[in-house]
């Protein structure tokens, strides 16, 4: 069941995430002075910092997205629905939290698990580790 939900994500989301991650890593590396003409050690350090920063951010946001797709924030959503229903004339869709969580669970069955942020982030963290190991051995 989980494998079916992972395979449904289009490759376009991975490519888009990868393009934005590369752009972010280049911006951070440029900010750290990778393209100024410094020594090779400073350039490698700046590129490693760019890859690691983008990778860690993507892994953290990817883990948040994974936990949200599993229903970890259902109670927060239900409490916001209760709060907004105080100021609305419309009736609530769900009478209690159990009904709300069951409805959300049914909606989540059809959605794919968002693995693009997490996997691209792991790729960038791995690239930073490889750059660091090669830099230290060289």
Tell me the pLDDT tens digit for each residue of 42-80: 888 899 999 999 999 999 999 999 898 888 888 888 888
- How do the pLDDT tens digits run along the chain, 138 residues long? 555 555 566 788 899 999 999 999 999 999 988 888 788 888 888 999 999 999 999 999 999 998 988 888 888 888 888 888 888 777 777 788 888 888 888 888 877 778 889 999 999 999 999 999 998 776
The CA distances from residue 7 to 18, 28, 105, 111, in Å, are 18, 32, 19, 11
Q: What pLDDT, on the 0 to 100 scale, is given for residue 124?
A: 96
Angle 57-61-62 (CA atoms, 0-180°, nearest 5)?
A: 110
Domain housing 26: 2-137
The number of domains in the chain is 1
Q: What pLDDT, on the 0 to 100 scale, is given for residue 16?
A: 93
Farthest-apart Cα atoms in the chain, separation: 69
Q: Round to whole Å and give the CA distance between 88 and 36.
A: 58
Tokens standing for residue 70: 């599993």
């Amino acid at each position: 069941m989980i494998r079916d939900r992972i395979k449904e994500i289009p490759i376009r989301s991975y490519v888009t995430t990868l393009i934005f991650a590369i752009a972010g890593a280049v911006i951070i590396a440029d900010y750290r002075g990778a393209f100024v003409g410094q020594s090779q050690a400073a350039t490698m350090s700046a590129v490693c910092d760019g890859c690691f920063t983008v990778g860690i951010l993507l892994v953290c946001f990817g883990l948040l997205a994974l936990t949200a797709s599993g229903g970890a924030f259902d109670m927060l959503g239900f409490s916001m629905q209760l709060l907004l229903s105080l100021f609305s004339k419309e009736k609530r869709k769900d009478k209690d939290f159990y009904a709300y969580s069951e409805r959300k669970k049914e909606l989540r069955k059809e959605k794919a698990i968002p693995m693009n942020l997490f996997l691209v982030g792991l790729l960038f963290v791995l690239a930073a580790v490889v750059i660091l190991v090669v830099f230290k051995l060289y």
